[in-house]
């Protein structure tokens, strides 16, 4: 008995020494939380007053009191906040600022206090006058947001003016990730992952969710940056004028676009099974200009209404494009494999490859404008004949292997071919405008490098070379950004080729280089670069600060823009055909002095110089890297969920350049499916991770 009492007494003393710290109410002076005092228990709403900074050190664990959430009634009653009574689920309110900078080894964790599957905590709210908040290497889990009067703030982070840097964070099992109010100041959300696992709350998993909501950009601020994130949670991403770059989406929803004053850039992203990769029909009167470039889509289509949109250099797998009336724009240099195209607006459709759309009584293409230099292959039906009395004009196009030109012949539909290569014989109803070349499919296969495997570059002697119609409507470049028009057969007459490729033509000129921070020399990722300040003539720097853009011969000004940096420009850059001009652009940081850690806005330069080629690839890709000293090296492949797929290297290697080939197989020798993978090269001194894309 005495021994038992002594044990209880000792346990009580130990608990006093290592007790969790309960916090609530108002922080009225600068405060620092340390992992030595873990855990911090927020048992009532916590307010960080104006002018006050809460600094949270790496390794801290913050547990916030939650409430039951099993149905809508629970959500309304337990998460509805009033200033008189608060709410049952607790929240953190920021009128000052939070600096929560964890590390990869010691992240900062925000989670629920109750270890119960049915419980969730509220969220973190910042007011419209809060200072810059930083969340780095944080993990947020089991948040269900809050409801204030008629305002639903169902996001883990609701930052009214979007004044924040959010980097390398994980959002797990939350109802939403990030929301802002209608006017956004300075916001960067990058290198984060938002997902759910098998322990997700049943109620939340069945809701119509919004993962991201970003308001319109404040006129005095650069566009919000959303870059290099992974979204696998079921939730829409609602955005307006912003930079959406290098993200991976794998869910049932894509991007919902609403009105804004500045362009929206969607660049170099991957959309998997999103239904609508991008849809601006969800909100009324959405007319923000959209620039959609270098993206990969699988089962994720595009819907555009009542606005200007450019769709350029994308790969669409089993995904379609739809432009309604009252739209205009461009659809150029895209591969549309297994999807259809329906364009009812004033849209240019040039240099595209559309193929393999097979659906009974559904056509592959509906386009009101004439089309130029496209390849249209292996579809069940090419033209929509329900547009009565309309004249479709194909110029410089290749149409092969299609089962039908149009399904019915009872309508007064007119289809015209001019300088096209086709295999439709005289039994098909079309108007011959001259210059057409009739072939059978077996003959046509000799025109291309590898017709069977989708390489439609022209071979020497192809009938498509210099056989096109030199219409003034052609674009000045081909699918490979080679010069149009060129004398490919050497007869002294320059004529455009039929199809999207120009044989043997020289490359256009190119401006390339790096974006660097003025003081530190660190590279600046995801910078928008516009040529002559034209919003449609642009590119972005990648995660090493490198950029390149192809241009016609001429003299150009280049403008660089990035949130948290002063805009810069460089004037009078002159390039010629096939010439590459290298430049360096330096930008001054305007980030408020809240941290000496430059990594919050710029990634570390890849000292391993790792790269891979080809990318996308099938079936193999070669990863090259450089070791500055003799080092232990590990190279592994991961999927987007962070699961290791295969280890390629684990060895002590000498200084110098090395390479390793990945054959697209996992540890068991099974071929992996199409999708994004990540390779990581790690030594004792440095590491780098990069994305690669398997396309089958």
* Sign (positive or negative) of CA dihedral 489, 494, 498, 503: positive
**Residue 356 reports pLDDT greater than 70:** yes
The mean of the pLDDT values for the chain is: 85
Note whether residue 202 is domain-resident. Answer: yes
- Residue 529 and residue 476 in one domain: no
pLDDT for position 160: 86
95 confidence band (pLDDT: 50, 70, 90): very high
Residue with tokens 């250099």: 313
Look at residues 506, 541, 558 and tell me which one is the last residue of a structural domain: 506
pLDDT of residue 261: 75
pLDDT of residue 411: 52
Report d(CA 500, CA 302) in Å as an integer: 22
Dist CA 36 CA 23 (whole Å): 15
Residue 358 predicted with pLDDT over 90: no
* Residue 591 pLDDT > 60: yes
215 shares its domain with 172? yes
- Whether the upstream peptide bond of residue 269 has omega within 30° of 0, thus cis, is no
Q: What is the pLDDT of residue 682?
A: 83
pLDDT in tens, 489-531: 999 999 999 999 999 999 999 999 999 988 888 889 999 999 9
Confidence of residue 29 (pLDDT cuts 50, 70, 90): very high
Cα–Cα distance measured from residue 476 to residue 507, given in angstroms and rounded to the nearest whole number: 11
- Between CA 261 and CA 220 the distance in angstroms is 12
Could you write out the DSSP letters of every residue in 616-682? Answer: SBSS-EEEEEEESSSEEEEEEEEETTS-EEEEEEEEEE-SEEEEEEE-SB-TTSPBPPSEEEEEEEE
Residue 10 above 60 pLDDT?
Answer: no
Reported confidence tier of residue 241, pLDDT bands at 50, 70, 90: confident
DSSP letter at 199 equals T
**Residue 109 and residue 212 share a domain:** yes
**8 Å CB contact between 525 and 544:** yes
Final residue belonging to a domain, choices 506, 527, 546: 506
Per-residue pLDDT, 581: 92
Is 50 exceeded by the pLDDT of residue 406? Answer: yes
pTM of the model: 0.84
| CB 172 within 8 Å of CB 143 | no
Picking from 66, 91, 88, 64, the residue whose alpha carbon sits closest to that of residue 78 is 88
Average pLDDT over residues 322-343: 92
Q: Give the integer Cα–Cα distance in Å for 608 and 546.
A: 15
CATH number for the domain including 513? 2.60.40.1120
Least confident of 183-192, 303-312, 531-540: 183-192
Is residue 215 located within the same domain as residue 352? Answer: no
Residue 689 lies in a domain: yes
Could you read off the pLDDT of 33-55 as tens digits, one per residue? 999 989 999 999 999 999 999 99
**Alpha-carbon span 6 to 416, nearest angstrom:** 97
| CB count in 10 Å sphere of residue 17 | 6
Q: What is the mean pLDDT of residues 229-235?
A: 82
In a domain, 605, yes or no: no
Bigger pLDDT: 408 or 251? Answer: 251
- The DSSP H or E segment spanning 41 is strand 40-48
Task: Say whether both 499 and 522 belong to one domain.
Answer: no
Residue 208: pLDDT band (50, 70, 90) is low
**Is the separation of the CB atoms in 354 and 336 below 8 Å?**
yes
What is the number of domains present in the chain?
Answer: 5
Tell me if 396 is assigned to some domain. Answer: yes
Does residue 663 lie within any of the structural domains? Answer: yes
User: Is there a single domain that holds both residue 30 and residue 179?
Assistant: yes
Sequence-ordered list of residues with C-beta below 8 angstroms from that of 188, at least 6 positions apart, any chain: 164, 165, 166, 167, 224, 225, 227, 563, 564, 601
267, 387: one domain: no
pLDDT tier, 203 (very low <50, low <70, confident <90, very high otherwise): confident
In the structure, what pLDDT confidence band is assigned to residue 12 with cuts at 50, 70 and 90? very low
Residues 571 and 542 in one domain: yes
Strands 187-190 and 225-227: parallel
Would you state the pLDDT for residue 215?
79
Structure tokens at 308: 């200007």
Q: What is the mean pLDDT of residues 121-132?
A: 89
- Angstrom distance (rounded) from CA 570 to CA 557: 6
Average pLDDT of the residues in 551-556: 95
The C-alpha atoms of residue 694 and residue 674 are separated, in whole angstroms, by: 5
Tokens 């997700």 -> residue:
200
Residue that has been written with the tokens 């039994």 in this structure:
427
Q: How far apart are CA 513 and CA 49, in angstroms?
A: 45
Give the three-state DSSP class for 473.
coil
The answer to whether the beta carbons of residues 631 and 654 sit under 8 Å apart is no
Confidence of residue 284 (pLDDT cuts 50, 70, 90): low
Q: At which of 547, 566, 599 does a domain end?
A: 599
Asked, for residue 25, whether it belongs to a domain, the answer is yes
In angstroms and rounded to an integer, the radius of gyration of the C-alpha atoms of the chain is: 28
Residues in the chain: 696
180 and 74 share one domain: yes
Q: What is the pLDDT of residue 22?
A: 93
Secondary structure tally for the chain: helices H, strands E: 4, 68
Give the angle 622-628-633 at the CA atoms, nearest 5°.
55
Q: DSSP character for 298?
A: E
CA dist 49 and 98 (Å) reads 11
Say whether pLDDT at 540 is over 90: yes
Euclidean distance between CA atoms 235 and 255, whole angstroms: 10
In a domain, 177, yes or no: yes
What is the average pLDDT across 66-90? 88
pLDDT at 296: 93
Q: Classify each residue of 393-430 as buried b or exposed e, where b means 16 or more C-beta atoms within 10 Å of its C-beta.
A: bbbbbbbbebeebbbeeeeebebbbbbbbbbbeeeeeb
pLDDT-derived band of residue 13, with 50, 70 and 90 as boundaries? very low
Do residues 432 and 310 share a domain?
no
Do residues 147 and 4 both lie within one domain? yes
Residue 228 within any structural domain of the chain? no
Q: At 150, is the secondary structure helix, strand, or coil?
A: coil
Calculate mean pLDDT across residues 50-69: 96
60 and 201 housed in the same domain:
yes
Q: Which of 265-274, 281-290, 517-526, 655-664 has the lowest mean pLDDT?
A: 281-290
State which residues form the domain around 546. Answer: 509-599
User: How many CB atoms sit inside 10 A of residue 339's CB?
Assistant: 23
CA angle 482, 483, 486 (to 5 degrees): 120
**Per-residue confidence at 11, pLDDT binned at 50, 70, 90?**
very low
Q: Which two tokens stand for residue 539?
A: 């590119």
Q: Which residue has the tokens 């930079």?
A: 243
Residue 586: predicted pLDDT: 93
């Amino acid at each position: 008995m005495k021994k038992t009492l002594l044990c209880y007494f000792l346990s009580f003393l130990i608990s006093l020494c290592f007790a969790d710290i309960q916090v609530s109410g108002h922080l009225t002076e600068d405060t620092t939380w340390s992992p030595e005092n873990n855990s911090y228990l927020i048992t009532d709403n916590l307010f960080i007053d104006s002018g006050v900074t809460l600094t949270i050190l790496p390794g801290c664990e913050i547990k916030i009191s939650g409430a039951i959430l099993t149905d809508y009634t629970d959500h309304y009653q337990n998460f509805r906040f009033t200033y008189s009574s608060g709410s049952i689920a607790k929240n953190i309110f920021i009128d000052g600022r939070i600096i929560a900078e964890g590390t990869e080894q010691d992240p900062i964790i925000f989670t629920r206090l109750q270890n119960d599957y049915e419980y969730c905590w509220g969220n973190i709210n910042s007011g419209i006058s809060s200072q810059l908040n930083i969340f780095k290497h944080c993990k947020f889990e089991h948040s269900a947001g809050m409801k204030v009067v008629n305002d639903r703030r169902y996001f883990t982070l609701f930052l009214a003016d979007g004044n924040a840097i959010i980097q390398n964070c994980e959002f797990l099992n939350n109802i939403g990730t990030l929301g802002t109010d209608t006017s956004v100041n300075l916001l960067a959300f990058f290198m984060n992952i938002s997902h759910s696992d098998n322990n997700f709350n049943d109620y939340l998993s069945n809701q119509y969710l919004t993962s991201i909501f970003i308001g319109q950009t404040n006129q005095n601020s650069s566009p919000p940056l959303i870059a290099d994130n992974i979204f696998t949670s079921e939730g829409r991403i609602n955005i307006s004028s912003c930079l959406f770059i290098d993200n991976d989406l794998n869910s049932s929803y894509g991007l919902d676009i609403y009105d804004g004053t500045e362009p929206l850039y969607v660049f170099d992203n991957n959309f998997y099974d999103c239904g609508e990769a991008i849809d601006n029909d969800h909100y009324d009167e959405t007319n923000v200009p959209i620039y959609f470039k270098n993206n990969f889509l699988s089962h994720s289509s595009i819907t555009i209404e009542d606005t200007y949109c450019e769709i350029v250099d994308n790969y669409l797998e089993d995904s379609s494009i739809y432009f309604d009336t009252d739209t205009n724009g461009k659809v150029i240099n895209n591969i549309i494999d297994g999807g259809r195209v329906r364009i009812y607006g004033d849209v240019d459709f040039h240099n595209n490859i559309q193929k393999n759309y097979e659906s009974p009584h559904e056509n592959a293409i509906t386009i009101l404008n004439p089309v130029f230099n496209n390849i249209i292959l292996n579809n069940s039906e090419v033209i929509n004949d329900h547009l009565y009395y309309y004249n479709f004009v194909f110029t410089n196009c290749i149409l092969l292997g299609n089962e039908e030109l149009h399904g019915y012949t009872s309508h007064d539909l007119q289809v015209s071919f001019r300088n096209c290569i086709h295999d439709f014989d005289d039994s098909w109803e079309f108007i011959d405008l001259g210059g057409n070349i009739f072939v059978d499919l077996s003959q046509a296969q000799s025109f291309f490098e590898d017709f069977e495997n989708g390489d439609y570059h022209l071979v020497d002697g192809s009938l498509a070379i210099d056989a096109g119609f030199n219409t003034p409507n052609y674009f000045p470049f081909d699918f490979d950004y080679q010069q149009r028009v060129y004398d490919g057969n050497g007869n002294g007459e320059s004529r455009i080729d039929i199809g999207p490729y120009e044989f043997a033509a020289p490359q256009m000129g190119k401006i390339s280089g790096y974006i660097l921070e003025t003081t530190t020399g660190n590279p600046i990722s995801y910078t928008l670069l516009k040529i002559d300040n034209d919003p449609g003539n642009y590119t972005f720097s990648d995660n090493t600060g490198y950029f390149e853009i192809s241009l016609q011969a001429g003299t150009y000004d280049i403008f660089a823009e990035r949130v948290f940096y002063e805009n810069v420009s460089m004037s009078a850059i002159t390039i010629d055909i096939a010439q590459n001009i290298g430049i360096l652009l330096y930008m001054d940081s305007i980030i408020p002095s809240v941290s000496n850690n430059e990594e919050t806005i710029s990634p570390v330069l890849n000292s391993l110089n790792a790269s891979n080629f080809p990318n996308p690839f099938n079936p193999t890709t070669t990863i090259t890297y450089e070791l500055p000293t003799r080092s232990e090296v590990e190279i592994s492949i991961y999927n987007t969920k962070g699961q290791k797929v295969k280890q390629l290297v684990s060895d002590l290697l000498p200084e110098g350049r090395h390479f390793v080939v990945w054959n697209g197989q996992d540890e068991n020798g099974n071929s992996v499916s199409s999708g994004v993978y990540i390779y990581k090269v790690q030594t004792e001194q440095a590491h780098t991770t990069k994305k690669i894309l398997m396309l089958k």
